[in-house]
Amino acid sequence: MDISLKGLGRACAAAVLAIGLGGAVCWRTGGSCGRAALAAGGTLALFGGVWLVERLGRSPERPHHPPPQNFDWGIHAFRAFAIVCVMMAHVSGAIGRQGLHDALFWGSTVFFLFISGYLCQHIASRRAQTAWDYWRKKASNVLLPYLFCSAATVALMACESRPQWWFLAPEGFSAGEIAATLLLGRAWIAYWYIPFVSLLFAVSPLLLRLGDRALAVATVSAGLLAVAFPERGFLFSLDWPNVFHLYSWLTVSYLAGFLYCRKRTALEPWLRRCAWPLFAFGCAIGLWIAYPGLLGLRLVETPLAVNLQKWCFTGALLAALPFFRRRIALLDALANASFTLFFIHCAFIDTLGAWHRGLLEALPLLQGGLQRVAVDAAFSAAFVLAMLGLARLLKCAFGRHSRLFIGS
């Protein structure tokens, strides 16, 4: 009986892999309905398959939990780096550095997903909590500030009677349209991330219960789905195929965070040896993204190239984290305010762009060469510091309830 159960679990894992590989072929030939079915089936089979692998195939095995550790300053510094990258992804477009945005900062969500998965496993290894406790904390620390900030944005746009370009909801403000805006993260250009990651949070208690082998199977399977469906179209559409494409593209990063936390001791020496090659390969991919004709061939889809680049940078950064074992004031402040920065920074992108254009028009000598590079760098740094200052002010204004309203 034990052998047959293991065989069933492995068959489920094989089915997940088959869906991912089959999707790569059918993607080029099938219509939108076929793509939606493949992506949906692959994403759902991913979680169903790994549950069966754990439940039926290796039921005696329990997840390996690392021993309790002190505060992880390295991952804390990584979170500061991640929020700066997310902000720069929007700033680069506002100051006319679209190529830089595509080459370095597009897809920085990968960093946050990896960190979220890592911290979920890390916190679970330090203290026991029920699934209900986990969901309750995510609801109060993530969903409540998201709903507050989204509702404030909807109210502002309703008062102005006409949405701005970054307000992705329809121009009307009926109850149904407002509900869709909140449900799908359409109030700001970056808010899609909260509804997206909320579903990953919903299944996280299951991921914590997976054995190491089942988790590795899930991560590899999600990686194959990311290769098979390297699309990102959910941002501006309600089309369900795009929803599933987004999950298939990014879920692997969340799962990799869990796996790295469990196997960090074994993986760190390998990452230290490979850090510079990974960094160099990530930079090479960045050049290819910025200059698609550089190699003369378009070897892979751009979303897949972005994912590969961010995975390379993640590996290189993880190798550098042991150097951040002590508190660094600026990184600490950015990491602590990261959620608030995420919520508020998009509101000031237009203002930043207008000031930047005004300065260049007033001083034409700054429009070219190294002067322009210096101006862009100064504006970017000033924007990050200004948003950090505003986040601190908002935290003081909301007092001890600030986490419920602005996330920190």
User: What DSSP string describes 223-292?
Assistant: HHHHHH-----GGG---HHHHHHHHHHHHHHHHHHHHHHHTHHHHHHHHHHHHHHHHHHHHHHHHHHH-T
- pLDDT digits (tens), the chain, 408 positions: 333 444 444 544 554 555 455 544 444 444 444 444 455 455 555 555 555 554 554 443 444 454 545 678 889 899 999 999 999 988 887 787 767 677 788 888 899 999 999 999 998 888 777 888 888 899 899 999 999 988 888 887 777 666 665 566 656 667 777 777 777 787 888 888 898 888 889 889 888 888 888 899 889 888 887 877 766 443 444 444 455 567 778 889 999 999 999 999 899 999 999 999 999 999 888 888 877 766 655 555 577 888 889 999 999 999 988 887 778 889 999 999 999 999 999 888 888 888 888 887 887 777 777 787 888 888 889 999 999 999 999 999 988 888 888 888
SS (H, E, C) 231-242: CCCHHHCCCHHH
User: What are the tokens at 176?
Assistant: 């149904």
pLDDT of residue 236: 40
Radius of gyration of the CA atoms of the chain, in A? 22
Q: Where are the domains of the chain?
A: 2-406
Largest CA distance in the chain: 79
How confident is the model at residue 113, as a pLDDT? 94
Does the pTM surpass 0.85? The reply is no
**pLDDT given for residue 178 in this prediction:** 76
pLDDT of 300? 57
Closest CA to 132 of 202, 195, 181, 185: 202
Q: Which residues of 86-168 form beta strands (DSSP E)?
A: none
